[in-house]
Structure 1
Amino acid sequence: MSSTPETLPLVRTIGIMQPLTWLALAWRDMARAGWISFAHGLAMTVFGGLIIAVAGNRFWLLAGALSGFLVVAPVLATSLYALSRALERGEPASMQVVFKTWFNWQHSHFNKWTSQYWCLVQFGLLLALAATTWVLTSAALITLLAPEPVRTPVDFLRVVVADSESGLFELWLALGGFLAAPIFASSVVSIPLLLDRRITLMQAVLTSWRTVLYNPIPMAFWAALIAGFTLLGVGSLLLGLIAVMPMLGHASWHAYRDLVDVSTLPARDAGLAPVLVQVRH
């Protein structure tokens, strides 16, 4: 088994419009993978619908569940990264790829109890903790500053969003952006990197931060695209997530391939064919 590297991989700089190329490549992958990609989006849409049905009018429970769902979504999209990787290698994007990703993603890793084997689970838990922190902080802010109690989504729209004089909604958005920025920086390439290469969780997170520091404007544009498409998907009664989630998942794989030079890193699973390392356009 290959050991993890001691140094971080090199990070490339990209043009500001490169995220649009990732979206175009994502649609190509979705067309080639067919129903398997859209099944991921449908599953996430159904799960989101169940959250809304269970949480109902309990606003903070609904906010917490949806926030956790959206923050952990990059981990849930791991098999979409694997599908894009298979297509990149010229392999079939089949359900076998999906099953192997979720149930036997490191079949050459005999020790199943090390932190390396569970790195994706660990990262998912960290993201869930971040989402919980946001909901608790948000609840405290609204509780302290709102002129009346906010208990339902309608209360939030009426008391916070529709009140243009208090500035509470603007403050709430600013706080959300402040807390979301480090989550984005930590996760933008971490998960596909952990899936693809033998690297520690800390190294993957540091590499992800470096991609943002080296490409601040393109990555800000990418973050805005992710937020915009996610809001579009949620705002369409979650139906838009059927296409949005697989699109963002496949695009995230291409973002990782463009931003990180993995030529010096060992493959995550020695039993897999080597990834073709090349300078991306």
Structure 2
Amino acid sequence: MSENDTPGTANPASRFPVIRSVKPGAVVGWMRGGWHDLRRSGWPSLFYGSCFAIAGWLLQIVFAEAYALFAGLTTGFLLVGPFLTLGLYDLSRRIEFGMPPRLLPTLAAWRPNLPNVGLFAALLAIVLLVWARASIIVFALFFTGGFPTFGNVVHTVLTFEQLDFALVYFAVGGFFAMFVFAISVIAVPLMFDRKTDAVTATIASLVACSRNLVPLLLWGTCIGILGIIGFATFFVGLIITMPLVGHSTWYAYRDIVAPEEDEKLDDADAAAVA
């Protein structure tokens, strides 16, 4: 096996994965594992984090006079994060299998399951556009004080200076974030790792959320906090926080989805009983 390949499943949608229940304390282990992979990988991980930061800076420049739309696109940018972190999942899997965490092969991590990854990415893009539109409406109805700047928006949201605006913005944004989190928390790693079809991966992610409500709520809260840190530092923090989220999500996936070897053993036991 070459350095450009990592072990994977060749037949995608043949079986539904076994979803395990985990304890709330597992989140600490996911974060610890993510931090380990971030340090082990080094600059390839920071490259992906830099892409998030650069995208934020570019959006700020392009939408310098449309901060209502800018706020929606920048916060919504995290909604498509599960797709954008595919390279980080590949880095973590390479580390897991004792392979060098090289950047170049991970840039094409989406290729083996392109149709399903592309379909899911299109769904996330639609959600992003709807959220961007909803953000504009919330600004128009609730934001007061004249023409907002990026600093005004961040300050207002973080300090609840305009309580009505902050509450509505968090409520609407939280709905979109929870929806995307529920359908994607293990879906993208599953499509990447086992080449599962998009529908099966999405259903598996929903099942994982239903069986691990408290741990995944905690994990979602951690992602939100890390995202806020990134925005509060004018996107510089995203260079670290986004790779940490990506690598930690890989550990969450590995913890929640049973290995295929266990599934085969269960099938063998069932056949023996029959």
What's the TM-score, normalizing by structure 1?
0.81
Alpha-carbon distance between aligned partners in 2 of 1:63 and 1:239, rounded to the nearest angstrom = 16
Corresponding residue number in structure 1 for 2:75: 67
Q: 1:95 to 1:265 in 2, by over 3 A?
A: farther
Residue-pair matches, total: 253
Q: Hey, which of these two has a bigger chunk of helix by percent?
A: 2
Alpha-carbon distance between aligned partners in 2 of 1:198 and 1:155, rounded to the nearest angstrom = 44
Shift of 1:149: 6.6
1:178 aligns with 2:175: yes
Q: State the SS of the aligned residue for 1:261.
A: coil
Which segment is superposed worse, 167-176 or 232-241? 167-176
Shift of 1:240: 0.9
For residue 238 of structure 1, the aligned residue among 235, 238, 256 is 235
1:143 aligns with 2:140: yes
Instruction: Give, as a single letter, the amino acid of the residue that structure 2 aligns with 1:28.
Output: H
For residue 20 of structure 1, the aligned residue among 25, 28, 31 is 28
Q: Deviations over 1:245-279 (max 9, x none)?
A: 1111111111111011241799xxxxxxxxxxxxx
Q: Deviations over 1:194-221 (max 9, x none)?
A: 0011311010001011111001000000
Q: 1:64 to 1:173 in 2, by over 3 A?
A: closer
Shift of 1:229: 0.6
Corresponding residue number in structure 1 for 2:196: 199
Corresponding residue number in structure 1 for 2:130: 133
Shift of 1:172: 2.5
Q: 1:80 to 1:159 in 2, by over 3 A?
A: closer
Instruction: Give, as a single letter, the amino acid of the residue that structure 1 aligns with 2:92.
Output: S
Q: Percent identity?
A: 29
Corresponding residue number in structure 2 for 1:228: 225
Which segment is superposed worse, 196-205 or 47-56? 47-56
Q: 1:148 to 1:81 in 2, by over 3 A?
A: same
Shift of 1:59: 1.2
Q: 1:179 to 1:43 in 2, by over 3 A?
A: closer
Q: 1:35 to 1:145 in 2, by over 3 A?
A: closer
Alpha carbons 2:25, 2:215 under 8 Å: kept: yes
Instruction: Give, as a single letter, the amino acid of the residue that structure 2 aligns with 1:218.
Output: P
Alpha carbons 2:71, 2:135 under 8 Å: kept: no
1:85 aligns with 2:130: no
Alpha carbons 2:59, 2:74 under 8 Å: kept: yes
CA root-mean-square deviation:
2.6
1:122 aligns with 2:119: yes
For residue 33 of structure 1, the aligned residue among 41, 56, 59 is 41
Instruction: Give, as a single letter, the amino acid of the residue that structure 2 aligns with 1:227.
Output: G
Alpha-carbon distance between aligned partners in 1 of 2:243 and 2:152, rounded to the nearest angstrom = 33
Instruction: Give, as a single letter, the amino acid of the residue that structure 1 aligns with 2:227.
Output: T
Shift of 1:162: 2.1
Corresponding residue number in structure 2 for 1:162: 161
Q: 1:51 to 1:90 in 2, by over 3 A?
A: same
Alpha carbons 1:143, 1:150 under 8 Å: kept: no
Alpha-carbon distance between aligned partners in 1 of 2:156 and 2:245, rounded to the nearest angstrom = 33
Q: Deviations over 1:47-105 (max 9, x none)?
A: 21111122113112312331342211221110110011011111111134324425xx3
